[in-house]
Amino acid sequence: MGKLWSYILPLPVESVEQLEVLLSVFSSRITVELLKNIRLEGKTYQKELLEKLPYSSKTIIQKLKQLVSADVLKEGVEPKKTKGRTVWIKWYTPTFIGKWIIMLLTPLEEIDPVELSNISKELFRIYARSLAELCLNFRMKLEDYHEILDI
């Protein structure tokens, strides 16, 4: 094993919800490929995913529903005029957890540095607050962590 990188994965507090997120994302290669095709910013349309990925529509839609249920993705619909008719098209955007997971799955050189900076700062904010709360609840010294940050 080569050099290790300390990936941090923000998860819901409740263990049942944690399991739901982890299983919805990492239970199949299909889900991982699906997430790699979701835009970090803006909407990704269901039709795009169905055309791009080599899996059945039923499988893709099922995986999308799991990711929405686990709060990794948000979904919505919008009207689109086509040939004089209005059709409703479904779209997806990642939640904060979804964005972070997508970034974990994306090679670093393909990630927008501004987006990486924004998400990393928010992740650090969440992690620091959680660590402070942990220290308070278990009477640990927060100063020990300040020393670690004084690199």
Pair (123, 52) in one structural domain: no
Cβ neighbours for 89, distance < 8 A, ≥ 6 positions apart: 45, 46, 47, 77, 78, 79, 80
* Residue-number span of the structural domain to which 118 is assigned: 112-151
pLDDT under 50 in the chain at which residues?
none
Residue 118 placed within a domain: yes
| 22 lies in the same domain as 68 | yes
Domain identity same for 33 and 86? yes
Q: How many domains does the chain have?
A: 2
- Whether 51 maps to a domain, the answer reads yes
We report the CATH number of the domain holding residue 84 as: 1.10.10.10
C-alpha distances out from residue 55 to 45, 65, 89, 127, 128, Å: 16, 15, 20, 36, 40
Within this chain, do residues 78 and 22 fall inside the same structural domain, yes or no?
yes
Domain contains 7: no
Q: Are residues 55 and 88 in the same domain?
A: yes
Identify the pLDDT of residue 50. Answer: 97
Label residues 123-136 b or e (16+ Cβ within 10 Å = b). Answer: beeeeeeeeeeeee
Question: Residue 146's pLDDT is what?
Answer: 84
37-50 residue pLDDT tens: 999 999 999 999 99
Helix, strand or coil for residue 89? strand
Check residue 31 and give its pLDDT.
Answer: 97
Same domain, 86 and 119: no
Are residue 79 and residue 29 in the same domain, yes or no? yes
Does a structural domain hold residue 37? yes
Number of C-beta neighbours around residue 4 at 10 A: 6
**Residue-level pLDDT at 147:** 85
Residue 75 lies in a domain: yes
- Domain assignment of residue 10, yes or no: no
pLDDT on residue 151:
67
Would residue 9 count as lying in a domain? no
